[in-house]
Structures are given as C-alpha cells and as structure tokens.
Amino acid sequence: MEDAPMKLYTNLFSPNARKVHAVAHALGIELETHTVDLRAGEQRTPEYLALNPNGKVPTLVDGDTVMWESNAIMCYLAGKGDTELWPKSAKRYDILRWMFWESNHLTNTLNVLFGQKFFSGGNPDQKVVERATKDFRKHAKVLDAHLANNTYVTGDTLTLADFSVGVAFGYAVPLELPLEGLDNINRWWTAFSATDSGAILLPG
Ligand SMILES: N[C@@H](CCC(=O)N[C@@H](CS)C(=O)NCC(=O)O)C(=O)O
C-alpha cells in the first residue's frame, strides 16, 4: 500500500510557510495542502491548536508525526532522502548555524517591520521602524560580508540555509529594506530568486 501524502497546513501569505513550499518543490516532494484561514482565525480553533499549540502556520503532518517550526519542517522533508540541500556531513552544522541566525536575528527585525508596515492601520511608529531597519541593516551586513567569499549561504552549493535566509529578501521593496551597497546579497538573491524554487519564496 502506498504511503499517504504528507499534509501541510499552510497559508501562502506566510513567509515561513513559503520556505517549506519552496524546499518541497526543490526536493520534488508533493504535499497535500490545507490553507489555514488566518484572517478568520482558523489557527486558533481547538482542532488546529491540537496540531500546533502555537496557533501558527506552517504545520506538517506525516502519518503520526506532527511537525511545526518551518526550519525544522524543511530539515524533516530533506531528511527523507539524500540531498545536497541537507547533506549527511558536518556541513549540516553550518546550515543549522544560518537557519538559527535567520530565525533569531533576521526574522526578528523583519517581524517588527511587518507589524508596523502592514498591521498598524496605516499608522506605523516611525521610531520603531527606524530601529528595526537599522537592526536589519546590521544583520544584513554580516551576511553580505560572508557572501563575499561564498556563492551560496553555506559555500558553493545551494542548501536549506539559502531558503531559510532568502525568504526575507523578497520583502526588500514592500518593507523598504536598506540593501544599498550590499552587492554580495544582491548578487546571490537575484540569482537564487530567479530559479523555480527560489521564486516560490517571493511574496505573491
Ligand atoms: N517560528 C515559526 C513562526 C511561524 C509564524 O510566525 N507563522 C505566522 C505566519 S508567518 C502565523 O501563522 N501567524 C498567525 C498568527 O500569529 O495568528 C516558524 O518558523 O514556523
């Protein structure tokens, strides 16, 4: 009997969910999907909270396994096979380093900008925007310096780290991210976001 397809609870408005879609595409994994209606609050229903008590997307269900946290889901999917995106070598630790960096530094500043620009009823707090924009620039400079000597985030091949870190840069225009002069990021992101999988990271 064939295994049932894995099911992703998702919403394409979510950058964290798009990371998972992009990685699944790169791996050639077909996922059954259920769009969680975030506007209607479906993420806070008892049925959904039983799967993901954080009330967030994405969530992956694979038989008895329920996974949440987009970066963990990406590792889980890639771990199903043999792939350079998530090699079975010490390079994994470097990939994880950048995935943790993304969720701790880059995404934190992005979430603030997201909240101020999209969910402040058109009345963003300029001081908060300024501070988060400055923080974003500080973190982006770290990545830019690293990319001066690396084609991709963890060396000369595309890995999960590119998907994890890359999704932020799709918001360069709507969030007015300060990327001037960060030529290495611009080179890397322009090439990556033009690929079929990279393009899935872009907000629709
Ligand atoms: N660290 C989590 C963050 C998930 C997250 O923040 N999801 C947002 C969309 S990007 C969400 O579901 N928000 C709905 C809500 O908070 O009500 C991950 O990477 O999966």
For residue 104, how many other CB atoms are within 10 A of its CB? 10
- How many Å lie between the centroid of ligand 1 and the Cα of residue 35? 13
Classify domain 7-78 at the CATH class level: alpha beta
Cα separation, 191 vs 102, whole angstroms: 20
* Pocket lining: 203 vs ligand 1, CB cutoff 6 Å: no
Q: What is the CATH number of domain 91-199?
A: 1.20.1050.10
**Model confidence over 90-131: pLDDT tens digits?**
999 999 999 999 999 999 999 999 999 999 999 999 999 999
Long-range contacts for 200-204 (Cβ within 8 Å, ≥24 apart)? 200/18, 200/21, 200/22, 200/25, 201/15, 201/18, 201/19, 201/22, 201/163, 201/166, 201/167, 201/170, 202/18, 202/170, 203/13, 203/15, 203/18, 203/170, 203/171, 203/174, 204/12, 204/13
- How many Å lie between the centroid of ligand 1 and the Cα of residue 111? 10
- How many Å lie between the centroid of ligand 1 and the Cα of residue 106? 15
Average pLDDT over residues 67-83: 97
Q: For the chain, what are the domain ranges?
A: 7-78, 91-199
**Model confidence over 21-68: pLDDT tens digits?**
999 999 999 999 999 999 999 999 999 999 999 999 999 999 999 999
Q: What pLDDT, on a 0 to 100 scale, did the predictor assign at position 1?
A: 56
Atom of ligand 1 nearest to the CA of 57: 12
**Residue 2 pLDDT > 70:** no
**Residue 74 pLDDT > 90:** yes
